[in-house]
Structure 1
Amino acid sequence: MSHPTFRPPNQALATIGLCLATFMQVLDTTIANVSLPTIAGNLGVSSDQSAWVITSFAVSNAIALPLTGFLTRRYGEVKPFVWATLLFSLASFLCGIAQSMGMLVGFRALQGAVAGPMYPITQALLISIYPANKRGQALALLAMITVVAPIAGPILGGWITDNYSWPWIFFINVPIGIFASWVVSGQMKGRPERLEKPRMDYVGLVTLIIGVGALQILLDKGNDLDWFSSTFIIWLAIVAAIALTVFLIWELTDKDPIVNLKLFRHRNFRFGTITLVLGYAGFFGMSLLLPLWLQTQLGYTSVWAGLATAPIGVLPVILTPVVGKYAPRFDLRLLASISFVVLATTSFWRGAFTTDIDFHTVALVQLLMGLGVAFYFMPVLSIVLSDLQPHEISAGSGLATFLRTLGGSFAASLTTWIWQRRGTEHHARLTEHISVYDPATQQAMTQLGHGNVTQGAAVMDRIVQSQAMMMSTIDYFNMLGVLFLSLIFVVYFAKPPFAPKGGGASAAAAGGH
């Protein structure tokens, strides 16, 4: 049985161990991104093939996340956390010594799979070692890691790759993971847990692996293969649709499902998860498009693009402890609404950018957006978990995190597709008004080419392309602004109270269903 008064011998040390492991895991979702060209060159493969370093991690991670509920029911929460962290360290070491792309992709898949349960179990363990009135601070701390780690990933990955070698982006995990697992194992020793022996739901597991795997690969490769003009993408869509339909029907009717979809019967979990997924998708899409636009259209290097976008993490780091401490005194829906207003305002501000925008303005808008992020994760996460029973926390956190991850994958694919498609449409409209037979156009091309009309035409086309992509970027950021404002209405479908059930302290102490 769970025990509501369990406290680790050293609460601060236990918190550090849990947060270090989570920071390491979240960091690894982005740390390899900027190193792909170097990895591809060293292992002798194309840049397209190197993208599987990211895809393999994302696919296996997405599949493993919903299994958190089953694992915690069967083994509790401490053992899966410790073993997942140790295996993550081992997989990281194997990634670093990989001698071929096939080996690296395989080890990255293993790394993603064992990383799956780490975040939701960390969330549950953090809640369990703090009293009810400190629960918000624990969630706020985890929210800060969720924001800062993905931003730090590309910057740290680029610095390590440039100054050392790419294997070190994986080797740095080994001592961190060993230390975190040792600390948590020692601090959580003797923690009571309620265990069950659920039967393995093989139909649910197989359909989950096939459905989510096919969907994740479809999302990752759809843009490169021109979506449904590709036979491969069509087959992936068919397989994903069939497998996920069978999965949903089976899980909703099975007596002992591997993923407890009945958690959506809880009103706050339902609307909180919708808010979490859509809000994160918007945040993720912005975080992807802005550096991409800065590098491809404004000529920024990857390091400078990282520095321009990094200020988004400043205010969350400063304000998160304050938000965590005082947020429970307010209606969490109001705090989330403040977040969405700030996120929408900064999105519309970016919608007024031009190709002449300077570094400082980009960084300033990112800094202000951090205010919205600081008020986003902790209130929304608290709403998501507020009406779950204590023993449902791990499963609910795993399911919500899985859907949030999937939302990020959708956002990544759709962002690039929308941006490029709108850019093509704007380019076509702009060139409708340009005729090579027009004397004014000929004169402009002559001036741009310094007397050479052919060179002038090429320069003019680059100018038109730049303006078309600028207009597409404006369209996307305005769309995000509308999305964030609409989430204010969604979050108010949740109903107070948002205080933890079961006194909070035992909220995650039980691994049972």
Structure 2
Amino acid sequence: MASQPATLAQPLLSPNLLWPAAFVLAFSNFIVVLDMTVANVSVPHIAGSLGVSLNQGSWVITSYSVAEAITVPLTGWLAGRWGSLRMYLLAMTGFGLFSLLCGSSVTLEMMVVCRVAQGLCGGLVMPLAQTLLLRIFPVEQRPKAMLLAAMTTMLGPALGPNVGGLISDNASWHWIFLINIPLVMGCVIAARTLLPPAETPTRKLPIDVVGLCLMLTWVCSLQLMLDIGREHDWFDDPLIVALACLAGVGFIAFLIWELTDEHPVVDLRVFRHGGFTFGVIALSLCFGAYFASIVLIPQWLQSSMGYPAMLAGFVTSCTALTALTTSQLASKALARGIDARLLVSLAVAWLGCMALVRATWTSETDFWALAAPQLIQGFGMSFFMLPLTTISLGSVPMEETATAAGIQNFVRTLAVGVATALVLSVQGNTQQEARSEIAGKLQPDETLRTLSGAGFSDQGATAYIANLVDREATTLAVDHVFWITAAVFFLCAVVVWFAPRPKGFGGPPKAH
């Protein structure tokens, strides 16, 4: 390994091959990130096709996110044991194979299992693609590699709802997964042709089997508890109690083992740095609140507002589209030494204000009133994402940066899956309460007479009232969730000030 710096100082690829190889890696990262949100607007289509509820259909989203989170801490060990390129090709091949199986699923159980496997592969592709990007670019051009990776990471969630909606409305939800196959095949063939010089050295490394098993135990137990809790009446069901105990005991055992093991799968000692700790807390809470809206909005627009999937996807994706326009401004602000905590605090408060605007939506809100806060919110996204990453990673020594980045990605990705399950549970419970409250205030006999006078049959009038109550109850529940996410954003705007000011800003290259 001593000769590695000298090797990396020389270009691994010729100028003619550098950018084609970079495009392949960036595009593969884009495909994997796209799949985090491409299914969001298609959940009603998937749930209807498989004969399950919307809450059960949401497992398609949460299973992928949690599976991704599990494999992120293993990336370094796998790459060191078998090589970054070899693992990248294997992960991409697996991603394509399980995309095929997801698109061929005929039951919810098959879909969730295949989606988990797809997420396990996708969780490896993202860090491996970024690692290979850094290797093929000369040192002086690495900021370009970082910017390329950042742009694809932001563009994927932006286009995911649009792509999913377009395919679901005009073809079939199966194609949101099947379309990956030719794209993955192209990336694998191109990578095998262009990237052999970028392969990393391998060596035998110890693996923390106990730590890995404990992590799988508490993460899977927690996610399963959140996914099925509402259907099982929460802690009135012994199964939910058992899952909660298993998650709690497993988490405590995981903490103890990882803090004492010589080669931990997740090196928790990095949390001794206050900047990293508070940065990760704020980042996970903000990402959870942000992705909660990405999950909730398209389902509400389709199930209650009558929007087609493509239009619901456009409303959802407006935030990330406008975020792309300010990424350079956030980068320059960091490079000029502006306190990252100030940038994050203002940006997160801005997101909280937009959540408050969304909390005023009604069942009569028109398209542009729905899209406007999404668009406006996007201008603050870059000022929250890039500086907050700088705060967390800028607080750790250089030799711990790789470990800190892995843990940060693990916590952030896990937060997405947990937040998705929580927000759907809160929305469902609030909807039930609102439905009961609205029904209690109705005067059914008078309402039925009015509708009968307007030409409704008795059966038609009853169905109309039921649909109206459901629509209003769902809207009130959505507004309630936005009040909660606004509170989370404002809390994060305060939490970030507990972190010390990061030293030696390097802009986005250091941040990533």
Establish whether TM, by shorter chain, passes 0.5: yes
Question: How far 1:82 sits from its partner (Å)?
Answer: 3.4
TM-score, structure 1 normalization: 0.83
The runs of 5 or more residues in structure 1 that have no matched partner are 437-441, 509-513
Of 118, 126, 131 in structure 1, the residue corresponding to residue 125 of structure 2 is 118
Q: Answer 1 or 2: higher relative contact order, Cα 8 Å, separation at least 6.
A: 1
CA gap 1:45/1:391 in 2 versus in 1, 3 angstroms: farther
Moved more, 409-418 or 374-383: 374-383
Q: In the alignment, residue 409 of structure 2 is paired with which amino acid? A: T
CA gap 1:266/1:131 in 2 versus in 1, 3 angstroms: farther
Cross-structure match for 1:447: 450
Cross-structure match for 1:363: 371
Cross-structure match for 1:474: 479
Cross-structure match for 2:231: 224
Of 490, 496, 499 in structure 1, the residue corresponding to residue 502 of structure 2 is 496
Q: Is residue 417 from structure 1 mapped to residue 425 from structure 2 by the alignment? A: yes
Measure, in 2, the Cα distance between the counterparts of 1:120 and 1:267.
Answer: 25
Is this contact kept in 2: 1:333–1:379, CA < 8 A? yes
Measure, in 1, the Cα distance between the counterparts of 2:401 and 2:237.
Answer: 41
Q: Is residue 267 from structure 1 mapped to residue 271 from structure 2 by the alignment? A: no
Question: How far 1:284 sits from its partner (Å)?
Answer: 0.7
SS at match of 1:356: coil
Question: In the TM superposition, what are the counterparts of 1:91-490 in structure 2 within 5 Å?
Answer: 91-96=98-103, 105-126=112-133, 139=146, 141-181=148-188, 189-191=196-198, 197-329=204-336, 330-390=338-398, 392-434=400-442, 443-450=446-453, 459-460=464-465, 462-490=467-495
Question: How far 1:8 sits from its partner (Å)?
Answer: 4.7
Q: In the alignment, residue 489 of structure 2 is paired with which amino acid? A: F
Cross-structure match for 1:439: none
Measure, in 2, the Cα distance between the counterparts of 1:421 and 1:393.
Answer: 41
Measure, in 2, the Cα distance between the counterparts of 1:240 and 1:187.
Answer: 44
Of 27, 36, 39 in structure 2, the residue corresponding to residue 20 of structure 1 is 27
Structure 1, residues 98-145: CA drift from partner, whole Å, max 9, x if none?
677666554433322122222233444555666888777655544443
Cross-structure match for 1:511: none
Cross-structure match for 2:9: 5
CA gap 1:345/1:291 in 2 versus in 1, 3 angstroms: same
Moved more, 256-265 or 331-340: 331-340
CA gap 1:280/1:177 in 2 versus in 1, 3 angstroms: same
Is this contact kept in 2: 1:348–1:477, CA < 8 A? yes
Is this contact kept in 1: 2:322–2:378, CA < 8 A? yes
SS at match of 2:380: helix
Question: How far 1:283 sits from its partner (Å)?
Answer: 0.3
Structure 1, residues 386-419: CA drift from partner, whole Å, max 9, x if none?
2444554443333212211221122112212222
Q: In the alignment, residue 238 of structure 1 is paired with which amino acid? A: C
Report sequence identity in percent. Answer: 33
Moved more, 186-195 or 395-404: 186-195
Is this contact kept in 1: 2:62–2:420, CA < 8 A? no
Question: How far 1:343 sits from its partner (Å)?
Answer: 0.7
Is this contact kept in 2: 1:65–1:398, CA < 8 A? yes
Measure, in 1, the Cα distance between the counterparts of 2:299 and 2:108.
Answer: 25
Measure, in 1, the Cα distance between the counterparts of 2:465 and 2:47.
Answer: 34
Measure, in 2, the Cα distance between the counterparts of 1:494 and 1:447.
Answer: 64
CA gap 1:322/1:13 in 2 versus in 1, 3 angstroms: farther
Structure 1, residues 16-65: CA drift from partner, whole Å, max 9, x if none?
222211111122233345556666777x7656876665555344333222
Measure, in 2, the Cα distance between the counterparts of 1:221 and 1:400.
Answer: 27
CA gap 1:201/1:139 in 2 versus in 1, 3 angstroms: same
Structure 1, residues 475-495: CA drift from partner, whole Å, max 9, x if none?
322222222122122222142
Q: In the alignment, residue 502 of structure 2 is paired with which amino acid? A: P
Moved more, 287-296 or 389-398: 389-398
Is this contact kept in 1: 2:9–2:139, CA < 8 A? no
Moved more, 82-91 or 453-462: 453-462
Measure, in 1, the Cα distance between the counterparts of 2:379 and 2:148.
Answer: 15
SS at match of 1:376: helix
SS at match of 2:230: coil
CA gap 1:131/1:226 in 2 versus in 1, 3 angstroms: farther
Q: In the alignment, residue 32 of structure 2 is paired with which amino acid? A: Q
Q: In the alignment, residue 486 of structure 1 is paired with which amino acid? A: L
Is this contact kept in 1: 2:169–2:310, CA < 8 A? no
The runs of 5 or more residues in structure 2 that have no matched partner are none
Q: In the alignment, residue 484 of structure 1 is paired with which amino acid? A: F
Is this contact kept in 2: 1:341–1:372, CA < 8 A? no
Moved more, 395-404 or 277-286: 395-404
Is this contact kept in 2: 1:62–1:402, CA < 8 A? yes
Measure, in 1, the Cα distance between the counterparts of 2:175 and 2:343.
Answer: 40
Question: In the TM superposition, what are the counterparts of 1:76-95 in structure 2 within 5 Å?
Answer: 77-95=84-102
Question: How far 1:471 sits from its partner (Å)?
Answer: 3.2
Question: How far 1:172 sits from its partner (Å)?
Answer: 2.8
Measure, in 2, the Cα distance between the counterparts of 1:322 and 1:65.
Answer: 29
Q: In the alignment, residue 280 of structure 1 is paired with which amino acid? A: F
Q: In the alignment, residue 306 of structure 1 is paired with which amino acid? A: G
Aligned residues: 500
Q: In the alignment, residue 398 of structure 1 is paired with which amino acid? A: G
SS at match of 1:375: helix
TM-score, structure 2 normalization: 0.84
Question: How far 1:429 sits from its partner (Å)?
Answer: 4.1
Question: How far 1:192 sits from its partner (Å)?
Answer: 8.5
Q: In the alignment, residue 366 of structure 1 is paired with which amino acid? A: Q
Structure 1, residues 314-348: CA drift from partner, whole Å, max 9, x if none?
21233324433553223222322232132112111
Structure 1, residues 220-271: CA drift from partner, whole Å, max 9, x if none?
2223333223333222222222222222211111111122112222333222
SS at match of 1:29: helix
RMSD of aligned Cα (Å): 3.6
